[in-house]
Structure 1
Amino acid sequence: MLKILCFCILSLVSFHQYAVELKVVQIYSQEELLSWIKQNIHLDRVVTDRCQLVEDIEARAEIVKVPSYQFLWGDMLAWGVCVERNAELGLHYIELAANQGLPEGLEQLGRYYAKGILVQKDEKRAITYLREASAMGSIRARIGFVEALNNGLGSPLDFQDAYHWLHNSIIQDKSEHKKAQQALAKLAEKMPARVVEKAKQALN
């Protein structure tokens, strides 16, 4: 009898711990999700939450058409996170987010086309996406834009804007800051000194 009682108590304790671990996860707020996307931890968060919000994420992407959720859903599909992998459909949703003006969507497409990730390399598309995301303030895009120009993509006509945007960016992350410095130094070597000085002028 005592053994049965002990077993029941242990079972209840185990069930309680299991229930706590599987507590209902609230749908992400727009601010939370955008913050995670900017930090590139959005997929990690979905996995941490044990894939409980897959249906909610899909609905907000497909039915409500929220750009941040389109991006998240697209990334999940593209890399098979909590869902069966479908890179083509995933890129479609990332493009939808980019078309609605989500800088992170534009930056990711630009990076993919620049490096040939999931798609064939396409210099014109890469520069178009990176330029647009840079103009909208994406630090990651601005670094990528300058690096792409350093690697021979784009046109010298892009140099001044690319240098201007990145030089005037506030970058808290030390590794990103160093990366930006190195990219700017390399780009400056391709530019006349007077153009570099003009590009250093503060953003309007």
Structure 2
Amino acid sequence: MLNYLRLNDASQAPDVQFAHGAEQAEAMVRELTRRALKSNWLRGQLVKFCLRRTRALLGLREMPKFYLVWILARLRTILRPVAEELVRAGRLEKLDDFYFLSFGEVRRALAGADMHSVVQARRATYEQELQRRHVPRILLSDGVEPTSSADEGTETNTLRGTPASAGSITARARVILHPVGAHLEPGEILVAPSTDPGWTPSS
């Protein structure tokens, strides 16, 4: 929000950018419909219907993750008293240690088992995974990531990835590996391993 307030160019405001993108999309729908109509009337109407449905419903693809994140947040709130009890009893060191345990392990902890070593091992693995700069999109059956010939001989100072927006631009790029505590200046190009609605506040 603070970065939005710092925008000096009114044309870069989110609502203006969104409206501009919507205009471009509608113009392309009209153009593709016009091209399809040259073939025949039915194809033109089908193209128009499909493109408009896609534009109207594409945002729904993010709904499953939104609700999953919302449910998990509610579960954390509901289970917090259990975590507090385990910390009070000395079976866990910190509240967030609780989330490194399975439900069965939580039951054992409530019955008196000390879970410090289990949490410590899992936290170490978690911290190691946070340092990962590349998450494979797919793995082969032997656990190896497939590579293309284009990946071979790549210079070590070259960033390769998949663009998320159309067009080209020259500006300062900022590499952000995790959204927590991240800072992006207006006009900067975001370079990240991946982004999704989890990068935005769920509230």
Calculate the TM-score normalised by the size of structure 2: 0.22
Calculate the TM-score normalised by the size of structure 1: 0.22
Structure number, greater radius of gyration? 2
Higher relative contact order (CA 8 A, sep 6+): 2
